[in-house]
């Protein structure tokens, strides 16, 4: 497609990406924009980032840019760093089947290693969807569309390059990507691309947990989480990601689904209005009912008290989930905080209410309580509403609220205080 036949203008391309391509061109290499950025520009969207491909090898790229870092084990890539913007530059990838020493597949057909350089045609064939295999050449301002991606864009279809079953077996994450693009680009997955998904969904259990963590962030924290969740559920792709919730996803809508969908809807709104989100909140949401259930079971079966049962349940559930999707420590600590505070928020007497307000994770825990309240109604919603009022009340009104609480609850038998621990203990650490 020469310049006159497509809508991509240099104005829409990052200056740094242009610089990188010009320098590669001047050194005698070819250089193209490819993938998501070309697709998004063709759709009239603003690209998230700009990826470049070239026939220069990583070492040759490094020789041209001082601000270059080589990364990646599965496939070596160059990152050209311009302050906060990173332009990713990859060497054309080739076919893998011919030489078994550089490409390895497991019994399910999954690619384990593929470090082969190739031509632009080969590079295009190895890409996932037809709309992701369009190349923009800054030397001629033309777009080369190897797999008829333009047609997919016109039809609003997610269409895999090649035989879908083979391509999913090579890399099961492509099933997640199909759904992600359908939700994000508001497209449908065409029938041939959709057909094998349900049958091959289980292959996701072979993907390393660290990669699935990255994918999970893209699925749920890119502003289209709710729609992505619904599509993943429709294609039976949730069970292999969250095995503990398998039954919940397969059954008709329940309070579990209600809570997850409510939180995803709020998350999308926050992202689309530029507010911060944390993966911890989402993980806390997804695994909340499994924790509650497991804690109840531990109480009745192992005879543990509520407090201990809940603590053990939190650890067990996080551990089980992280067998499938990695949960980095910096997030799991926050997940625990959010959960733990759910136990504390009902107990508001005296100074406790103020201590809770000043807890660093109060806000997240309160938001979580509110989501639970809106899902389940009843006492939980009342409790959440109480906290809504209390936070913004004047000191005098806060005092009144606590007094009212004391009077209401005063009719119930008061718990005896636990004996204080000896002072020396608490200072020992
Ligand atoms: P986004 O805008 O969400 O980043 P993207 O298409 O740029 O979408 P990336 O994950 O950044 O997605 O990948 C960049 C490009 O690399 C894709 O457009 C595609 O051509 C190729 N690609 C990425 N992952 C795969 C995969 N698993 N199999 C084949 N090709 C892939
Ligand atoms: Mg991208």
Secondary structure of 181-216 in HEC code, one letter for each residue:
HHHHCCCEECHHHHCCHHHHHHHHHHCCHHHHHHHH
pLDDT of res. 75? 79
Could you state, in chain order, the average pLDDT of each consecutive group of 10 residues for the chain (429 residues)? 92 96 97 97 94 96 96 87 96 73 63 74 96 96 96 97 97 98 98 98 97 98 97 98 96 95 98 96 98 95 91 97 97 97 91 92 96 96 95 93 83 54 47
Which pair of tokens denotes residue 381?
């919603």
Range of 396's domain? 345-409
Residues 171 and 145 in one domain: no
Residues 151 and 187 in one domain: no
Query: Among 127, 155, 183, where does a domain finish?
Result: 155
**pLDDT tens profile 176-187:** 999 999 999 999
Alpha helix (H) residue ranges in 205-254? 209-220, 225-234, 246-250
Query: Among 122, 139, 155, where does a domain finish?
Result: 155
Q: Ligand 1 pocket by C-beta < 6 Å: which residues? A: 35-36, 48, 51, 127-128, 132, 171, 173-174
Q: Annotated active-site positions, please? A: 49, 51, 128
Residue nearest to atom 17 of ligand 1 (CA): 35
**pLDDT tens profile 231-273:** 999 999 999 999 999 999 999 999 999 999 999 999 999 999 9
**Number of domains, the chain:** 3
Q: What are phi and psi of 87, to 5 degrees?
A: -100, 120
Residue nearest to atom 8 of ligand 1 (CA): 36
Residue nearest to atom 9 of ligand 1 (CA): 36
Nearest ligand, measured from the Cα of 130: 1
pLDDT of res. 302? 87
Q: Looking at the domain assignment, is residue 259 inside a domain?
A: no
Residues 167 and 151 in one domain: no
Burial of 407 (0-12, 13-18, 19+ CB in 10 A): exposed
Q: Which residues surround ligand 2, an ion (CB under 5 A)?
A: 36
Residue 120: give its domain's CATH number: 3.30.460.10
Distance 235 CA to ligand 1 centre (A): 21
C-alpha closest to that of 285 among 254, 268, 262 = 262
Between CA 416 and CA 313 the distance in angstroms is 26
Q: Looking at the domain assignment, is residue 39 inside a domain?
A: yes
Q: What are phi and psi of 30, to 5 degrees?
A: -90, 155
């Amino acid at each position: 497609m020469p310049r006159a036949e497509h809508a991509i203008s240099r104005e829409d391309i990052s200056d740094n990406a242009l610089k990188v391509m010009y320098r590669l061109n001047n050194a005698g290499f070819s250089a193209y924009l490819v993938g998501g950025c070309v697709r998004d520009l063709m759709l009239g969207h603003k690209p998230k980032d700009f990826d470049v491909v070239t026939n220069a090898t990583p070492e040759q790229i490094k020789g041209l840019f001082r601000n270059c870092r080589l990364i990646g084990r599965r496939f070596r890539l160059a990152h050209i760093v311009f302050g906060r913007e990173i332009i990713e530059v990859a060497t054309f990838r080739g076919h893998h089947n011919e030489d078994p020493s550089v490409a390895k597949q497991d019994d399910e057909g999954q690619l384990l290693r593929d470090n082969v350089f190739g031509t632009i045609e080969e590079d295009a064939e190895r890409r996932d969807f037809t709309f992701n295999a369009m190349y923009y050449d800054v030397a001629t301002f033309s777009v080369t569309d190897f797999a008829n991606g333009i047609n997919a864009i016109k039809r609003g279809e997610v269409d895999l390059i090649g035989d879908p079953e083979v391509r999913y077996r090579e890399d099961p994450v492509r099933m997640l990507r199909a759904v992600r693009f359908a939700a994000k680009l508001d497209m449908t997955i065409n029938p041939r691309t959709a057909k094998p998904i349900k049958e091959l969904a289980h292959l996701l259990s072979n993907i390393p947990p660290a990669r699935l963590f990255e994918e999970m962030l893209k699925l749920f924290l890119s502003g289209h989480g709710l729609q992505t969740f619904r599509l993943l559920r429709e294609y039976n792709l949730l069970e292999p990601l969250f095995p503990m919730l398998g039954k919940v996803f397969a059954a008709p809508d329940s309070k579990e689904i209600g809570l997850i969908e409510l939180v995803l809807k709020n998350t999308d709104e926050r992202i689309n209005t530029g507010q911060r989100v944390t993966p911890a909140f989402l993980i806390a949401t997804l695994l909340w009912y499994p924790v509650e259930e497991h804690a109840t079971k531990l109480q009745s079966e192992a005879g543990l008290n509520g407090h201990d049962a809940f603590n053990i349940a939190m650890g067990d559930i996080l551990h089980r989930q992280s067998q499938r999707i990695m949960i980095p420590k910096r997030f799991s600590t926050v997940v625990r905080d959010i959960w733990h505070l759910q136990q504390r928020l009902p107990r508001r007497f005296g100074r406790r209410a103020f201590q809770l307000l000043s807890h660093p994770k109060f806000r997240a825990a309160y938001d979580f309580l509110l989501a639970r309240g809106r899902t389940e109604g009843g006492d939980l919603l009342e409790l959440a509403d109480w906290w809504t009022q209390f936070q913004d009340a004047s000191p005098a009104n806060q005092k009144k609220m606590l007094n009212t609480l004391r009077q209401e609850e005063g009719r119930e038998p008061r718990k005896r205080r636990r004996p204080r621990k000896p002072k020396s203990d608490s200072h020992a650490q």
